[in-house]
Amino acid sequence: MHLVIVESPSKAKTIEKYLGKGYTVRASVGHIRDIPKSSKNAIDIEKGFVPNYVVVKGKEKIISELSALAKKADTVLLATDPDREGEAIAWHLAQALKLKKPQRIVFHEITESAVNEALKHPRPVDTQLREAQEARRVLDRLFGYDLSGLIWQKVRYGLSAGRVQSPALRIIMEREREIRAFIPEDFWTLAAQFKTKANALFVASCVEEPRSEAEAERILAAGRKGAWGVASVEEKEQKRATRAPFTTSTLQQTASTRFGFSPSRTMQVAQKLYEAGHISYMRTDSTNLAKEAQGALVSQVTKEFGPTFAEAKEYKTKSKSAQEAHEAIRPTDPRKLSAGSNEEQKKLYRLIRARALASQMADARVMRTTITAVAEGAGIPAFTANGSRVVFEGWLLADPEARGEDVELPKVTAGEKLSLMSIESEHKQTQPPGRYSEAGLVKELEKRGIGRPSTYASIINTLVTRGYVVKEGRTLIPTDTGDVVSSFIEEHFKDYISDSFTAEMEDELDEIADGKREYVKTLKDFYGPFTKAVKSKKKIAKITSLGDVPAEFPCPLCAGPMEFKLSRNGKFMSCKKFPECHGARKEDGSIIEPPREIGETCPECFEKHGGQLTEREGRFGKFIACSRYPKCKYIKKDALLNSTGVKCPDCIAAKRENGEMVERRGRFGPFFSCSNYPDCKLAIKARPTGNICKICSALMMDGTKTIPERCSNKTCPNHNPHKTEK
């Protein structure tokens, strides 16, 4: 028996269809081991930057099952994805399953011929590719762990930095500062409608944009009086060259433009198409096509559109370090007009197919026409009208959505008289540069050599998850938190988030993959200077103020000056006398209610410092704490300001006193948890009813849509429809 291990269950199902008896295909369901998230000993630096890998939580059962199958197998074939990450997963499988002679097979498309061909060429796990991926993970961990720790101390707890995430945030903030500094300028656009001698109408625009209203009015007045005629007619045929088949970056950009897909959504949909065998591997920065694939595309173009449109072409890969896969993204069988199990998959497949077919077709030809009209003797600028029409469709037949609209202009000749029907002006202002869209940021990251195809979507997701940017439609807008974090890193670690440093580090990782560079030396060259830079900033002052508040917003309690500060929810105004004065306002100037004394003394600090208990409004609702916060961090646990009146069942079972379910507010909205937190960590999403499930003793609550776990009771929060009541 031969055991084939892949990452995805759906990929396993597809491959199993192609392999006959004697083959068992199983999935690892992604990574099975990783560097621990919080441990300071995650990486042994002294021993040569050795990661201390641990089994990913929940993967113990998978490892056990795979290990049992591997012991029975004659051969174990590791068929993970054909990139560095796939190579790393293959190595981790070999280590975790204690495989003595594992064989690695690679294919860039999941088709019967590709899989069977890969079986003929097994090889050992590529140590260089695995080391390159490991170096990336270790670099990212060292960078993020050390720098994030400093940011926690100097800015605010819970913030983070990243080797690639921080340069991406810097790029967004650089654009934002351009927008803030932009000073709009007035200008006027002028348009005139003309009638030809054949009574055809067309609109022309002034070739100059006046910068004053007086100049615009002068042109309008002279234009209305002048005698108009055609000064020239230019017709020029231009080529619309074909485009290369998709890479990861260009697919993400086009899917965003055409369908509004986010990069992460595009990759999720493409992953499903790949695993089902419909497209080639979707993480690539190469525009190459295999000869067989190119031949199939040319043949399909000939069959579908005719021999006039077919033209075999090769494209140069723009990325100097293209390495994630050998081919561009393409359909595995271009004869399939449609593929996929849902509408999103079908749309993306059709886009990939259209682009691949178009890449092997003749250029389109477009006739561009320019009519120049002048008012004779009026002393004003010329007006021009531009039109275009397709004279040979070429590759646009395969991808008609890329065509655009034809703008037909009437037939006129030089010297022909024109009748002015109307001439108008419109006041406008110059606009600042636009903020980055997700597709725009991907394009910019690729252009600057920051990140690789497999990282673009995760970079954006991280920025959004951390609260450094928000998405409005397709636009990425930096938050106050993102602004503060980026400004801090730019001020103190500018060299480590520069384009040149980040791109050079990517090149060094590529050199490890190519065997041209050593793992330990690369990490040592980075970490030595970096850790010194971090330590040198330990003595800088903590950032408590983000600048003074305008004088029209005085402290609502003492009328003194205020300053901007950063909270978890963004900027707010705080009295400069804090903590002596607790006056605060929201960023819009509205007053934040101050803590209210409840007539009780603080049990921890009253005798020494006179602390009083106050009612406050926090992220998770109201609570009672010491008035001397943050010097005294006492919180009254049994202050049930948002009590539901329901006793906590876990506290009852553990014989803890005063445990009641209280309403709180978290990142994802309201929830209900025990007042004895952190001693009791019971938390539920829906409001508790006070009833207890007779089957599993769980707390009952309103609503039935919960995470299924173990109970057969349909109204229980632990309900699992696949379990039966005993």
For residue 118, give both structure tokens. Answer: 């890969």
Rg of the chain over Cα atoms, rounded to whole angstroms, equals: 33
Report the distance separating Cα 501 and Cα 450, nearest Å. Answer: 9
Report the distance separating Cα 305 and Cα 330, nearest Å. Answer: 19
Nearest to 107 by CA among 275, 268, 281, 270: 281
Residue type, 687: R
Beta bridge partners of 592: 584
Report the distance separating Cα 235 and Cα 243, nearest Å. Answer: 25
**Is 349 considered catalytic here?**
no
User: 630 preceded by cis ω (within 30°)?
Assistant: yes
User: 579 preceded by cis ω (within 30°)?
Assistant: yes
Is residue 521 within 8 Å of 512, Cβ to Cβ?
Answer: no
Backbone angles phi, psi at 437, to 5 degrees: -85, 170
The residues, any chain, with a CB within 8 Å of residue 275's CB and separated by 6 or more, are 8, 10, 11, 14, 110
User: 210 preceded by cis ω (within 30°)?
Assistant: no
Report the distance separating Cα 313 and Cα 242, nearest Å. Answer: 9
For residue 230, give both structure tokens. Answer: 């055609």
- CB count in 10 Å sphere of residue 495: 10
The residues, any chain, with a CB within 8 Å of residue 686's CB and separated by 6 or more, are 672, 701, 702, 703, 706, 717
CA distances in angstroms from 110 to 106, 130, 279, 331, listed in the order given: 10, 22, 8, 11
Torsion 335-340-342-347 (CA) sign: negative
Is residue 573 within 8 Å of 587, Cβ to Cβ?
Answer: yes
Nearest to 454 by CA among 254, 266, 275: 266
Backbone angles phi, psi at 239, to 5 degrees: -90, 140
Is residue 155 within 8 Å of 485, Cβ to Cβ?
Answer: yes
CA distances in angstroms from 47 to 128, 138, 144, 314, 583, listed in the order given: 19, 13, 20, 47, 53
Residue type, 599: G
DSSP 121: S
Report the distance separating Cα 292 and Cα 298, nearest Å. Answer: 10
Which residue among the candidates 281, 349, 436, 496 is catalytic per the annotation? 281
For residue 85, give both structure tokens. Answer: 């990450």
Nearest to 452 by CA among 175, 293, 279, 252: 252
Is residue 13 within 8 Å of 77, Cβ to Cβ?
Answer: no
For residue 685, give both structure tokens. Answer: 């999403």
For residue 170, give both structure tokens. Answer: 């810097």
Q: Which letter, b or e, does each residue of 90-112 get, where b requires 16 or more Cβ atoms within 10 Å of its Cβ?
A: bbbbbebbebeebbbbbbbbbbe
**Burial (CB count within 10 angstroms: exposed 0-12, middle 13-18, buried 19+), residue 502:** buried
3-state helix, strand, coil in the chain (%, to 5): 35, 25, 40
Nearest to 131 by CA among 51, 45, 43: 51
DSSP 301: H
**Burial (CB count within 10 angstroms: exposed 0-12, middle 13-18, buried 19+), residue 458:** middle
Write out the catalytic residue numbers. Answer: 281
